[in-house]
Amino acid sequence: MELIKQVERYTGASVEKFYKRTLFRSDTMLLGLNCLEPGQVQKPHEHANRDKFYYVVEGSGRFWLSDQHIEATVGGVVWAPAGVVHGVANESDSRLTLLVGIAPAP
């Protein structure tokens, strides 16, 4: 098993929906990438028993977090605790790449 992965090699685009790629996975944690092209949206949703974070690797996004609406750019870490409705929209003109972790893994 490869224990190091370079993010740029795992990014991509999906036409219908945003792009998802798993990097690493165990019972305790799922670590992956979400890539949203301009105009794409990850609809607000929640996970009852899982905490989640997003780290903005590239681009910028507008996040929903409960009743907040927050802009995040490169270097931003967004925390979506269990039960908090969260989602993100790419309203910019370039790709938004997010490192995403969910614990425990779905």
Q: How far is the CB of 94 from a second copy (least distance, A)?
A: 16
Residue of 62, 87, 92, 99 that binds a second copy (CB under 8 A): 99
Closest CA to 102 of 26, 41, 7: 26
Per rule CB under 8 A, is residue 63 in the interface with a second copy?
A: yes
Q: How far apart are the first and last CA of the chain?
A: 21
Tokens of 53: 């974070």
Per rule CB under 8 A, is residue 14 in the interface with a second copy?
A: no
Tokens of 24: 């690493």
Alpha-carbon gap, residue 10 to 77, rounded angstroms: 20
Residue number with CB closer to a second copy (36 or 57): 57
Tokens of 51: 């905490």
Q: How far is the CB of 95 from a second copy (least distance, A)?
A: 14
Per rule CB under 8 A, is residue 15 in the interface with a second copy?
A: no
Tokens of 88: 């993100």
Residues at the site binding a second copy, with contacts judged by CB under 8 A = 3-8, 23-24, 26, 28-29, 31, 50-51, 53, 55, 57, 63, 65-66, 68, 70, 72, 75-82, 84, 99, 101, 103-104
